[in-house]
């Protein structure tokens, strides 16, 4: 009976898209690893505080400081730096100091990542492919960061060049759909109809979709139909072309 359920593999991580917009992220260190961490959290719209002596900043971190992209504290770490902090990332060549910071974070229940010390990480940074709103992360659970990069590049090589633009258009269509069918009880129908659109239109169709096409396509929502892009532009009446989600047009 249990064969129909997915097996439990164990030993993995719960991979999440962590929303840290506006959160205060402390980065201890100013070298190459810190520079990479800064990019990661700035891309997630976090507020970044870097604690490190100025003479220890590499060129990229110094640039972020000069541009006002991050707040800089020009000294070594002190426990008070953890006040009002939501996340901590350490990138210093001092294992003892890093472990002390991790212990302080545990006492304050602050999520922390200690660079290159997997047992002292509440989360890992995977290798990420980014194309507009699309983010794909490959994680080896701390076992092989270099291998994660190789796998990520292989995945990215097999993705269509325009997939990010297609996703952007789908997001625009979803927001428009919510305006014409905002009721909570419409939620399941909205999800199923958007699934039909994504299943029946190619990525090229989604990229090619214009504002006027979205407005016309939304006219097919209430009759629960999805025309092809060509038929949509020919002005076919809503309800003529029905997509069953698996076998094409009916």
- Catalytic residue numbers? 116
List 223's β-bridge partners, or say none.
Answer: none
Q: Which residues contact 38 (CB under 8 A, 6 or more apart)?
A: 27, 48, 50, 60, 61, 64, 69, 70
Q: State the residue for tokens 């060049």.
A: 161
Nearest-angstrom CA–CA distance, 238 and 217: 9
**Where would I find the H helices in the chain?**
32-43, 59-66, 95-108, 145-157, 163-180, 187-200, 203-208, 211-218, 229-234
Locate 202 and state its tokens.
């190619």
Read off the DSSP letter of residue 249.
B
The helix (run of H) or strand (run of E) holding residue 196 is helix 187-200
Phi, psi of 225, deg, nearest 5: -120, 155
List 87's β-bridge partners, or say none.
Answer: 25, 111
Q: State the residue for tokens 């983010």.
A: 135
Q: Tell me if 70 sits within 8 A of 42, measured CB to CB.
A: yes
Q: How far is CA 209 from the centre of its chain?
A: 24
Strand 71-73 relative to strand 47-51: parallel, antiparallel, unpaired? Answer: parallel
């Amino acid at each position: 009976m249990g064969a129909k359920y997915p097996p439990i593999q164990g030993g993995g991580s719960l991979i999440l898209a962590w929303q840290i917009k506006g959160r205060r992220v402390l980065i201890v260190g100013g070298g190459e690893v810190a520079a990479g961490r800064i990019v990661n959290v700035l891309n997630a719209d976090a507020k970044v505080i870097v604690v490190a002596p100025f003479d220890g900043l590499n060129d990229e971190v110094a640039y972020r400081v000069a541009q006002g992209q991050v707040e800089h504290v020009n000294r070594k770490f002190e426990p008070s730096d953890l006040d009002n902090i939501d996340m901590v990332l350490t990138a210093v060549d001092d294992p003892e100091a890093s472990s002390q910071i991790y212990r302080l974070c545990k006492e304050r229940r602050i999520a922390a990542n200690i660079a290159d010390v997997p047992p002292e990480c509440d989360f890992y940074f995977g290798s990420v492919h980014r194309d507009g709103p699309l983010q794909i992360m490959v994680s080896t659970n701390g076992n092989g960061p270099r291998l994660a990069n190789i796998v990520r590049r292989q995945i990215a090589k097999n993705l269509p060049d325009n997939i990010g633009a297609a996703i952007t258009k789908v997001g625009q269509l979803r927001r428009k759909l919510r305006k014409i069918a905002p009721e909570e009880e419409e939620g399941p129908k909205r999800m199923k109809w958007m699934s039909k659109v994504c299943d029946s239109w190619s990525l090229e169709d989604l990229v090619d979709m214009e504002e006027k096409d979205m407005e016309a396509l939304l006219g097919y929502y209430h009759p629960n139909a999805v025309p092809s892009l060509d038929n949509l532009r020919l002005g076919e009446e809503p309800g003529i072309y029905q997509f069953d989600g698996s076998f094409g047009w009916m």
